Amino acid sequence: MSGPAPFDRSLLRLRRDRAAGRIDAHDFLIREAVKDSLDRAAFTTRSFDRALAIGGAGLTGEEMAAGPMADRIGWLAEMDLSPRMAMRTNSPAFAANEESLPLAEDSLDLVLAPLTLHWINDLPGALIQIRRALKPDGLFIGSMFAAGTLAELRECLTEAELEITGGAAARIAPFADVRDAGGLLQRAGFAMPVSDLDRRRVVYRDPARLFHDLRGMGETASLSDRAPALKRAVFARALALYAERYADEDGRLPATFVIANISGWAPAPDQPRPKAPGSAQKSLAEALGVKEESAGEAAQPGKPKP
Amino acid sequence: MSQTSEKTKHEVDPRLLEILVCPVTRGPLVYDREAQELVSRKARLAYPIRDGVPVMLPEEARELTDAETG
């Protein structure tokens, strides 16, 4: 990792500690991410002897018990950066830092990290640690808020602050651009990496509820470079801009959350793997049972176009 | 799943001990049931266990004395 770490991990821990007591009222996005990660595990049709949930607000145990993975996960532990958050679950649990995982090598069959990865400073490093903790052919399923999350709010805050103070500070965490999430997993040594994006619009009758939810989830920005407190006038102006630009007919405000899902397998010798490029013995047309047609002029290397 | 009873809640699940190592040295941990600590000799740190939940954060760990490591 080059440059200073963008996220203040002790501040994040504090925020999660504080959120632990009242997260129930604000956990809908986290609960959905937990369910989604379990559904993705269920989709593999495998059973997993030992599983770990990193993050997930202590909801993975109860969601697992209520869903299709109930008899396909033999044992589940839950982990959180915040000891208080870790204590919320009835599963065996521990507190640990996602950036230095205390996990024995080859000890787990499944690692879930629902809505956990966006506060990690060194994501490639964390992914390598997770891959090492997995047994060969073990599965990792993680998700994070990605670029585009809270785009409306970010735009209105920046504009309001520029208007009133003549400058603007980062108020919302930078989100990873996950177009290369597959590459990220591959560099961390995962086989068969998969990534996709989910876009969620949450509609708020009262914009204050959005802030309650963010704080309630422990998701207000935990940035190393903390901006000075937001002026009341800036905040009021930002909300006015938000309403002006985004309110629907009933005056409700939408907030966009973009969730990036990534998954991959710890490599194992008998896994299916792609063949080397150029090693095919048959043409694609032959494999598909169609007639190959010329696409027009062949490229002529070395000859510049007129 | 058979781990939800109140009684087991405050005991460390033995399988947790099988997956955990010291986050600093990645070395083994020794479970001190009496003190409710997970001890990493190599790191000279004892990680507390609170209500059955090991807190594997070096900043929360107790430094071992010379007598303990000797």
| Helix (H) / strand (E) containing A197 | strand A191-204
CA of B34, closest CA in chain A: separation in Å? 19
| Angstrom distance (rounded) from CA A186 to CA A124 | 10
> Is B53 near chain A, with CB under 8 Å?
yes
Name the residue facing A65 among B1, B13, B22 (closest C-beta): B1
pLDDT exceeds cutoff 90 at B26 = yes
Subunit contact B23:A70, Cβ cutoff 8 A = no
Supply the pLDDT for residue A299.
Answer: 56
Q: Is A147 helix (H, G, I), strand (E, B) or coil?
A: coil
Return the SS3 of B25.
coil
Whether the CB of A70 is below 8 Å from some CB of chain B: the reply is yes
Please tell me the CATH code under which domain B3-69 is placed: 2.20.25.10
pLDDT in tens, A244-294: 999 988 889 999 999 999 999 999 988 877 677 777 787 778 878 887 777
The interface residues of chain A toward chain B in range 98-157, judged by CB-CB distance below 8 A, are 100-104, 107-108, 133
- Record: contact B53-A100, CB cut-off 8 A: no
Q: How far is CA A166 from CA A99, A223, A292, in A?
A: 37, 22, 62
Burial class for A250, CB neighbours closer than 10 Å (0-12, 13-18, 19+):
exposed
Beta bridge partners of B51: none
Does A2 score more than 80 pLDDT? Answer: no
- Residue to test with chain A: of B11, B15, B30, B53, most A Cβ within 10 A: B53
Q: How confident is the model at residue A184 (pLDDT cuts 50, 70, 90)?
A: confident
Q: Which two tokens stand for residue A298?
A: 């062949």
CB contact under 8 A, B16 and A87: no
Closest CA to B57 of A300, A256, A10, A117: A10
How does pLDDT run across B32-44, given as a tens digit for each residue?
999 999 999 999 9
The two tokens of residue A115 are 């809505």
Token pair recorded at residue A22: 């009242």
pLDDT value at residue A135? 97
Which is nearest to B55 in space by CA: A134, A148, A17, A126?
A17
- Domain segments of chain B: what residues? 3-69
Nearest to B23 among A61, A93, A97 (CB): A97
Flag whether the ipTM exceeds 0.85: yes
Q: Write the pLDDT tens digit of every residue in A95-117.
A: 999 999 999 999 999 999 999 98
In this prediction, residue A296 carries a pLDDT of 65
Q: Residue for token digits 């966006």? A: A118
At a CB cut-off of 8 Å and minimum separation 6, what does A292 contact? A283, A285, A286
Q: Residue A234: is its pLDDT beyond 70?
A: yes
Q: Which residue of A has its CA nearest to B55?
A: A95
Residue B1 has pLDDT above 60, yes or no: no
Average the pLDDT over each of A17-26, A124-133, A274-283 and give the range with the smallest value.
Answer: A274-283
* Number of helical (H) and strand (E) elements in chain B, helices listed first: 3, 5
Q: Of A10, A63, A87, A94, which to mutate for an interface test with B (greatest number of B Cβ within 10 Å)?
A: A94
Q: Mean pLDDT score of chain A, rounded to an integer?
A: 87
A118 — pLDDT class (breaks 50, 70, 90):
confident
Give the integer Cα–Cα distance in Å for A91 and B8.
Answer: 10
